[in-house]
Structure 1
Amino acid sequence: MTLLRIDSSILGPNSASSELAELVLTAWRAELPSEPVVQRHLGAEPLPADAWATVVGAGYTPEDQRTEAQKSAVALAQSLAAELRAADHVVIAAPLYNFGVSQHVKIWIDLAIAGGEQGEKLLDGKPVVLLTTRGGAYGAGTPREGWDHATDYLRRILADVWGAELTVVEREFTLVGVNPALDAFTDTAAAMKSTAFEQATTAGKALAAR
């Protein structure tokens, strides 16, 4: 029973999304302590920014005429698709950056799609936990309602395109305590953090039971 964990934060030990992922993983390991975990950190070890364009170009090039760069990019894309296929459980930590997914996540998604078969559901029927974090608040009635262009996109990719059975855990106001302009929301942020922590732990236990 292999778990694939994907992190994408650029904040290292200060990452709120990785903190949630660790809670999921801790709960999962408590139930399945001997099962393997494969980890990929897209923020700490980014995929090549030009790899997807190179793969697309390779698609228009006869295989025996491809450059070494094209061959390498195609192999990378295929390995990412294979990594998703091989996983039984998946945990993805994806913070909101500049109102969308990070470049690291987008490159990973584009390459994995390119590395699979046309229309392949790489996570078909597999349980996946998506952990999203946002520095501010984007809920109904807030000034930035509708500005989160990441979460719905990730739902479409993971559930609709790749076929995952998706659980989403969200945490907002992660910049409270960092940005003084948000100090008035300290209590709200604390409550949101507590709820997200509980949901992440629950999600990890549920994941292990699948």
Structure 2
Amino acid sequence: MTHILRIDASARRENSISRDLTTQIVEKLSPATVTTRDLAEGVPLLDEAWIGANFTPADARSPEQAETLALSDALVAEVKAADTLVIGLPIYNFGVPAALKAWIDQIARVGVTFRYTETGPEGLLSGKRAIIALASGGTEAGSAIDFATGYIRHLLGFIGITDVTFVTADRMAIDPEATLAGARQQVAALAA
């Protein structure tokens, strides 16, 4: 059975297009085991203690450093356990929400989810699929003012996830009915 990691990044819990789309996508891919991570509940930003703990070899970390990395370790374990990531991506001010960026910072760890080699960086999480449920009032996906889709695609590839599909509802302020109808068609077309 497929294991899905559902990531919701919208600050809205009600009337959120990206959350509605992640629900539709998960339902389309079911039956599956689903782990849900709601980033609106908060994800800590990196700080000096986190950086120090992360760059201390695991066998040399103090108990305090291990505790500092406990959430990051749990978030990485969720990603590693999943076959498919379903990520709700509302575009805020042309980019990803701060909570999603904080989650990315917690999981993009050298030696854990990627490594550097003589030929460049290598992602360590290959063989996974990601489906991104994008919602935007008027920032069209792939346009010159969209700094979210390229970033999330690059970051996922950086950690080894190169099978990335976008379901887009990116014109909600312009034509919500047609935009939602298009997004539902994209969900229906997804391979289970």
TM-score bracket for the superposition, by shorter chain length: 0.7 to 0.9
Corresponding residue pairs, total: 183
Question: What pairs up with 1:97-112 in 2 under 5 angstroms?
Answer: 97-112=92-107
TM-score by length of 1: 0.77
Question: What pairs up with 1:1-210 in 2 under 5 angstroms?
Answer: 1-29=2-30, 32=31, 35-43=32-40, 45-50=41-46, 53-60=48-55, 66=62, 68=64, 70-114=65-109, 116-119=112-115, 121-138=123-140, 145-174=143-172, 176=173, 185=174, 188-203=175-190, 206=191, 208=192
Q: What is the CA RMSD across the aligned residues, in angstroms? A: 2.3
Residue type at the aligned position of 1:38: T
Distance 2:39 2:72 in 1: 14
Q: Secondary structure of 1:162's partner?
A: coil
Q: 1:60 to 1:147 in 2, by over 3 A?
A: same
The structure whose Rg is larger is 1
Q: Secondary structure of 1:114's partner?
A: coil
Q: What residue in structure 2 maps to residue 182 of structure 1? A: none
- String of CA shifts for 1:141-180, please: whole Å, max 9, x gaps: xxxx411111100010113433231111111222x3xxxx
Q: Secondary structure of 1:58's partner?
A: helix
Q: Secondary structure of 2:29's partner?
A: helix
Q: Secondary structure of 1:2's partner?
A: strand
Between the aligned residues of both structures, percent identity stands at 33
Contact 1:92 1:129 in 2 (8 A): yes
The alpha-carbon deviation at position 72 of structure 1 amounts to 2.0
Q: 1:5 to 1:139 in 2, by over 3 A?
A: closer
Q: Which has the higher relative contact order, 1 or 2, with Cα contacts under 8 A spaced 6 or more apart?
A: 1
TM-score by length of 2: 0.83
Q: Secondary structure of 1:12's partner?
A: coil
Distance 1:65 1:5 in 2: 31
The alpha-carbon deviation at position 27 of structure 1 amounts to 1.3
Distance 1:39 1:74 in 2: 20
Contact 1:85 1:122 in 2 (8 A): no
* Residue ranges of structure 1 left out of the alignment (5+ in a row): 177-184
* Residue ranges of structure 2 left out of the alignment (5+ in a row): 116-121
Residue type at the aligned position of 2:182: T
The alpha-carbon deviation at position 56 of structure 1 amounts to 1.1
Name the structure where helix makes up a greater proportion of residues: 1
